[in-house]
Structure 1
Amino acid sequence: MEKKSKLVCLLGTLAILISLLAPTEGLTAGKPSITIHNIIDLTGAYAPIAIPSEKGGKDYLAWIAEKGGLDVDGDGKGDVEVKYTWAEFGNVDARFMSAYKRFRMGTPKPTIIEMWSSPNQEMMKPILERDGIVCYGIGFSDPQLYPPAWNYMDCWSYGESAAGAIEYYIDNLWPKKGTGAKAKVAHLTWDSAYGRAANEPTKRHGEKTGKYEVVAERFCTMMPTDPEIMGFLSDFEKRGVDIIWSNSIVQTPAVIMKGIHKLGLAGKMVHMANLWAPADLLLDIVGPGSAEGYMCPQPVYVPAADPNEPGVKFAKMLNDKYRKDPAMPNIQYMRGIRMKANMLESVRRALLGIMKRDNVDLAKACDRITGKDVKELGIQTLAGYAAHDTTVKAQSAPSGKDDRRLANHDRLIGVKGGKVVALSPWYKVPRLVPDDMIKQGLFKDEKINIHYEVVK
């Protein structure tokens, strides 16, 4: 009986995943097709953020299918069927590599693969270059960005986002602003390539700007407990820490925020985390009392704070039409739409480029499209693309031939008065490429801004 119950549970879980991710067919029969791929973590540590992201992406693909496919020529009618092939890797490296090998050896050969793992994306960098496949990365660690690279990232680097948020807070929101004091920053994060991704860049940024100093780096377990975090917070209080940064996902900042309020440290130190710990999800987890004062930069419009923005209305339309989930759209749903929209826009531009370059029709362009085409004719040209207004039009990355980012603007989002609010205008994040690479002549067609720059 117990075995039967377990089997029923497993089958139920499988049914949910299939309903979430199975390709949606619309009025696309008989049309040429293209395929996009995804290696995603829906059952491991990243599930709380990956699932709502994929809901947004899946609903966007359903909308594309209902319109008759991808509109390549801009006449409002679908021209190309979009096929979607995915694999779930549960945050297990061996499963990730197995999925990649299966995709690479399959038909059609992938041109662009969405990937959910900074460590694996870093490991894949030379392999992707060898295989001529574009990575649409959902992990944003700095090393994978540096040329030569077929790794592109959905946003800026973790270090750039952290530096921009910290500097903006010090200049505009810090109680000690204008006193000449230098802020003390502590990293409390995971002991992994992903967790440490913002540490070195923020040290470098703090030294260059002179506005803050990283005084401590502490590493917690992936699912930290209250006593574990309390010990770190007590040490930070003794050190006079002003800002705690965490490069993890929402569970870790949730425990940190609970600890800050339990120890009476609210107002003495502020906690910020990267975009994978969105303020709306953290508020749902810990409630308004413990979430108060939390901050997190985001590169998309936020449904709870921006209900009247066109991109939020578009996301609401998708959810109302295809899902009717009362918890959607949230920040991650918005980001999921943008991910798939960016990938398909890259493919669309590549198809147009192939047709013009090779003097062929659309069907032949679909047959011969390669990762190199998507890279050079598509994704490298996305600066200024707002993905159905899910983000600000000021996004201007890639901003040069060596740039592999797909966003370079943020807003600081936080919990204030029990609500999710925007705490800043849109600003361009600092550009934190290593000095030795600039000396080598890389990034010479970009403006290297060391400070954040507010959009006017």
Structure 2
Amino acid sequence: MKRYWILSLLAIVLVTLPLMTACGEDEVETTTTAAAVTTTAGGATETTGDATETTAPAETTTTVGEPVTLYVGGTFALTGAYAEDCAAVLAGFQDYVQYVNDNKVIAPWHTDWTIPANITFELLWADDALDPAKTLTIYEDQKSKGMMVSRVSGSPEGMALKDLLVEDNIGATSQSTSPAYLQPVGNIFTNAPIYTDEMASVAEWFLESWTETRAPRVAYLTADSPLGRNIDIPQMQEYLVSLGYEFVGAQFVPMVPTAPPTTQLAWLKDNKVDLTLGVMVNPGSQPTVKEAVRLGMGVGQEYEITFALGNPAHLQIFLPDMGATGNGVVVAGDFCAQDADVPGIKFADMLQDTYRPNKKNTNIMYLDGVIEGMTQILALRLAAMEVDPAKLTAEDVLKKGYWQIKDLDTGGISVSKYTYGEGNVQGVDSCRIQQVENAQIVEKGAYPLRNILPSEQ
């Protein structure tokens, strides 16, 4: 019996020994740690680590930093001759800024140009009333609030700001494209050709269809203002003569005529002018052309003459008001037609449908507001990729932002992509020509820029 109990005990020990050994082992779990991903303040993505460790899995985290508000905008001439245009620019700014804050991307066709989640843009604006002194006051106020960009409404305001912008290292977008901004080059970044280059493009285009053996006769018919007189420089006249024109002289019309410019138009007829060049806004161009047609002057009229204007005379505004009365009128340097089948127009339509469905702005300068907003925000984005956005300076935004903008696509709104740099503030590389034919805007081609500048002061 004793031997039986000993054998039984031994059997139990042999059976339970492996179980006891297993219970005493440490549990080992092998996991693969995902690469840690960090989103930097500028929107770039850095990846670190890719190893197999005997630890719990690491989480993938996104770091965006503390919330930062960056200001865009500037002064807008909401009173005076530019009021209608500037109201449209402001509307474009407002909708575009809201779109970027909602979607954190520059544009639907630039989906890789993202905005960090911690950055919010706020629009600052005030009415400069087309007054340089008021412009300077607004500029200083906005700068004191931490604004590191600005904008220009018109040539007088631009010239008032030009040296100050350089002194403060602040870059400004502009709806005005005065040749003086480039001589010497400052910090005013334009989105259309300078007015002298627009006139040069028209002159080249006009010669292509000139069939007479005599030299064509050209004169200025332009606004009696800094805007209109931008083209009245010796270098412009010299270029026209070099093309083969006979330069006849100049006639000036008030920015907003209080009476038809009959005398100026009669002078053109008396001097047998074939082509006029000028820079006007629609409150000046429309009554001028109406009076010309009444006098039998224009393309297809009793007295054959072509009236050509710079982009402030936007055909997209001119045509709905003038219809067939405006046939033959030419505008250089403008955006595409508002019914053009291009992504930029579809984007602008979407912005209005989304943010102002019951108060749409049909003025072409809405597109300018979108483009200026896009340029300012892209400059801030590029600078924030290099510097903590909470520590950005205006100089950072100028040199690491504006100067680094390359191939900014406007979705076909502009004739070319925008590229800026140190000493290069004219973003486009060519000039679009448009003409009214049968009450429609017709594209006539694009011409290279000639950089016709005044003498350096």
Structure 2-normalised TM-score? Answer: 0.77
Whether 2:141 is the aligned partner of 1:107: answer: no
Whether 2:338 is the aligned partner of 1:338: answer: no
For structure 2, the residue ranges without an aligned partner over 5 or more in a row are 1-63
8 Å contact from structure 2 (residues 222, 280) kept in 1:
yes
8 Å contact from structure 1 (residues 301, 391) kept in 2:
yes
Whether 2:390 is the aligned partner of 1:367: answer: yes
CA distances 1:400-428 after superposition (whole Å, capped 9, x unpaired):
64222122322212221112222x12333
CA distances 1:173-219 after superposition (whole Å, capped 9, x unpaired):
xxxx14343222222223332220012243132133x2324322122
Taking structure 1 as reference, are residues 75 and 43 closer, same or farther at Cα in structure 2, changes over 3 Å only?
A: closer
Equivalent residue number for residue 446 of structure 2: 426
Equivalent residue number for residue 441 of structure 1: none
SS of the residue 2:227 aligns to: coil
Taking structure 1 as reference, are residues 137 and 293 closer, same or farther at Cα in structure 2, changes over 3 Å only?
A: same
Equivalent residue number for residue 85 of structure 1: 124
Whether 2:90 is the aligned partner of 1:54: answer: yes
For structure 1, the residue ranges without an aligned partner over 5 or more in a row are 1-27, 355-364, 438-456
SS of the residue 2:335 aligns to: coil
Listed as ranges, the matches of 1:336-415 within 5 Å are: 336-354=369-387, 365-392=388-415, 394-395=416-417, 397-398=419-420, 401-415=422-436
Percent of counterpart pairs with the same letter?
20
Equivalent residue number for residue 17 of structure 1: none
Whether 2:300 is the aligned partner of 1:300: answer: no
**Higher mean Cα deviation, 288-297 or 379-388?**
379-388
Taking structure 1 as reference, are residues 435 and 100 closer, same or farther at Cα in structure 2, changes over 3 Å only?
A: closer
Which of 239, 244, 248 lines up with 1:205 in the alignment? 239
8 Å contact from structure 2 (residues 252, 264) kept in 1:
no
8 Å contact from structure 1 (residues 137, 153) kept in 2:
yes
SS of the residue 2:94 aligns to: helix
SS of the residue 2:257 aligns to: coil
8 Å contact from structure 2 (residues 224, 253) kept in 1:
yes
Listed as ranges, the matches of 1:65-144 within 5 Å are: 65-68=101-104, 74=113, 78-104=117-143, 106-108=144-146, 110-144=147-181
SS of the residue 2:220 aligns to: strand
8 Å contact from structure 1 (residues 129, 149) kept in 2:
yes
Which of 241, 252, 275 lines up with 1:243 in the alignment? 275
Whether 2:344 is the aligned partner of 1:311: answer: yes
CA distance in 1, matches of 2:66, 2:118: 10
Which of 33, 37, 46 lines up with 2:69 in the alignment? 33
CA distance in 2, matches of 1:167, 1:325: 43
8 Å contact from structure 1 (residues 246, 273) kept in 2:
yes
Letter in 2 for 1:262: R
Equivalent residue number for residue 252 of structure 1: 284
Higher relative contact order (CA 8 A, sep 6+): 2
CA distance in 1, matches of 2:445, 2:290: 28
Deviation at 1:334, TM superposition (A): 1.8
CA distance in 2, matches of 1:431, 1:269: 27
Whether 2:304 is the aligned partner of 1:275: answer: no
Structure 1-normalised TM-score? Answer: 0.77
Aligned residues: 386
Whether 2:305 is the aligned partner of 1:284: answer: no
Equivalent residue number for residue 187 of structure 1: 220
Deviation at 1:264, TM superposition (A): 0.8
8 Å contact from structure 1 (residues 395, 409) kept in 2:
no
